[in-house]
Structure formats: structure tokens, C-alpha cells
Amino acid sequence: MSGVAIDPVDAVVARVRQVYARWGRGTTPAQMRQDWDSLFADETFEAEVQSVVIAGRPCDWVIAPASSDAVLLYLHGGGFQIGSPASHRELMAGLSAAAGCRVLGLDYRLAPEHRFPAALDDAMTCWDGLLAMGLPAARLAVAGDSSGGGLALSLLLALRDAGREMPAAAVTMSAWTDLGASGPSQASHAATDPINQRALLVAMARAVLGRDNDPHDPRASPLYAELHGLPPLLMQVGEREIVLSDSQDFAAKACAAGVDVTLEVWPGMVHVFQQFPRELPAARQARQSIGAFLRRHLPTKGP
């Protein structure tokens, strides 16, 4: 009797849930971060990794073969509490190969030890560090997933509001743009999202914002900002996610403000599915779409 084939999305979800199942009230942030990094530690990739310090923060250069001089600044996800360049090295390597550019993963400060706006301050400082290295803004792009996707958008808004040069383009994956968790998909997709639920996002937002910050502050929740003057933007999100409307609403608002926005809703996909290329053909296809987008918008001098 032959075995029943396991749906690849279910296999991915099972891997994530195995990590969640080990966490309880007594689990320390340090343990959760170690577990999350370990979830992706066995992924193999073809890229050079260099650990560096830029503007006082640890970072990882991830450089696939034949990468040009252009740079993608990558801001990892994890609810502003877990995740690191280590948990996202394979994804960054895949993006480096797809886009033909170098990727810099920023190890920004995490909550609850460092609350808002620590992560945004670190992203801005790292941006300044890249410019100080002689890299022109026109050959820089910004990307991020989940909370890192929201952080990437917050960085764009902070640069615009300061009258600074913008990157050539930006990419988000499953972006968390509303820390108030008020989007319609929070309820409508509660039964279809096997990874996130609204109560989890509310708890994460409380941990990063503390008592003194408003979840509707546009610096923390870019969905509530004025969205004019942003660079070309690609937003990818899974069809099953409770944060689906975070990307849909942001894309619609940005488009109405005159921003060049491409929104891709991937059928049947879950939160940051792009991190699972071994199991999911859609992850590999989504990475290629990101690569094609960045190659169109990110001028280079060649390898």
C-alpha cells in the first residue's frame, strides 16, 4: 500500500510549527532566536558570506557568484523579536543570485530589549553607512520580509521625509504594515493562515512598541503614512495570510499616490513562503520574479 503524498505547503508549515511547539511562557527571547536561526541552518547555498560591522551594527554580506557592484539592503523578519542575518542567509543568497547583486543583511536591534524605533534607527544608520562607503543611492535597493518588509517601507518613508535620496527600488515579502492588526484579512483569513493569528501579532506589536508608542504611528505602521514619492515597489504576499490585506491596502494606497507598485498575490502560499525553495516551486518562482524586478530597476556597472 503506497503512502499518502504530503502537500509541500503542509510540510513547510509542519517545520515551522515544530519550532513554535517548543516555546512557552518561560522561553527566553535568546532561546527563541536560537531556535529560529536553527530552523534554517541546514539550508545550503552558493554564495560567499562575510561578517562585517557597518556603522556600528553587525551585518552579513551575502554575495552569489557573478554579482555586480549593486547592493540590496535586506531587513529580516521575525516580529522585531527573532530572526537575524543567520536565519535569512539562504534567502539572501537566492536573491543575490536572482538579482545579480550583492546583498547586505542588517542585524538590527530586537525587542523587547530594544523597543521602537531602535530597528528603524539602525536601518537608517546602515543606509548612511552604505552611502559613506561610496555607494550611490541609485545602485542601492531595499528589501525585507514580514516585520522586515514593514521596516523597509518605514525606511523609505523616513528617507523621503528627511529629503534624502531614495534607493532605486524596494521589495517586500508578506509585509507587516499595520501593527494595529486591523486589516480585513486578520479575520477573513484566520482559518486559512496556519502560521500567524491576530493574537500573536498583537502580542508582538505590544512587545516592540511598549506602552509609550501608538500602533497607528506611521513610522511604525507605514500603512498609515502618506505614500507619495516612493521608488518602484514589488510586494509579494501569500493568498492564505492574515497579513494579505496589509500588502493589498498599502499597494492600493501607494498606487493612488502615484507610486509604481507591483502586487503579487501567490495562490495557496503562506507567510514568507520564499524561504522554502527546496519544498515549494512557488518560492523559486517568486525569487526569480524579485530578481527580474531588481534587474530592471537597479543600475549596475557589471561584475
pLDDT at 71 over 70: yes
Contact 71, 131 (CB under 8 A): no
Cβ partners under 8 Å of residue 21, min gap 6: none
Clarify whether 271 is annotated catalytic. Answer: yes
pLDDT of residue 1: 43
pLDDT of residue 300: 67
Pairing assessment for the beta strands 140-145 and 233-238 based on DSSP bridges? unpaired
pLDDT tens digits, residue range 216-253?
A: 999 999 999 999 999 999 999 999 999 999 999 999 99
Clarify whether 146 is annotated catalytic. Answer: yes
Kindly state whether residue 82 falls inside one of the protein's structural domains.
Answer: yes
pLDDT tens digits, residue range 256-295?
A: 999 999 999 999 999 999 999 999 999 999 999 999 999 9
Contact 85, 54 (CB under 8 A): no
pLDDT of residue 81: 97
pLDDT tens digits, residue range 138-151?
A: 999 999 999 999 99
Q: What is the mean pLDDT of residues 110-115?
A: 97
Kindly state whether residue 15 falls inside one of the protein's structural domains.
Answer: no
Q: What is the mean pLDDT of residues 18-32?
A: 94
Kindly state whether residue 104 falls inside one of the protein's structural domains.
Answer: yes
Kindly state whether residue 123 falls inside one of the protein's structural domains.
Answer: yes
CATH number for the domain harbouring residue 237? 3.40.50.1820
Kindly state whether residue 257 falls inside one of the protein's structural domains.
Answer: yes
Q: How many CA atoms lie within 13 A of 135 on its CB side?
A: 26
Q: Which of 147, 271, 289, 297 is catalytic?
A: 271
Kindly state whether residue 262 falls inside one of the protein's structural domains.
Answer: yes
pLDDT tens digits, residue range 169-192?
A: 999 999 999 999 999 999 999 999
Kindly state whether residue 281 falls inside one of the protein's structural domains.
Answer: yes
Clarify whether 279 is annotated catalytic. Answer: no
0.95 cut: is pTM over it?
A: yes
The residue segments making up the domain with residue 77 are 28-296
Q: What is the mean pLDDT of residues 44-69?
A: 95
pLDDT at 301 over 80: no
Q: Which of 146, 185, 221, 247 is catalytic?
A: 146
Q: Which of 76, 87, 241, 297 is catalytic?
A: 241
Kindly state whether residue 10 falls inside one of the protein's structural domains.
Answer: no
Domains in the chain, number: 1
- Mean per-residue pLDDT over the chain, rounded: 95
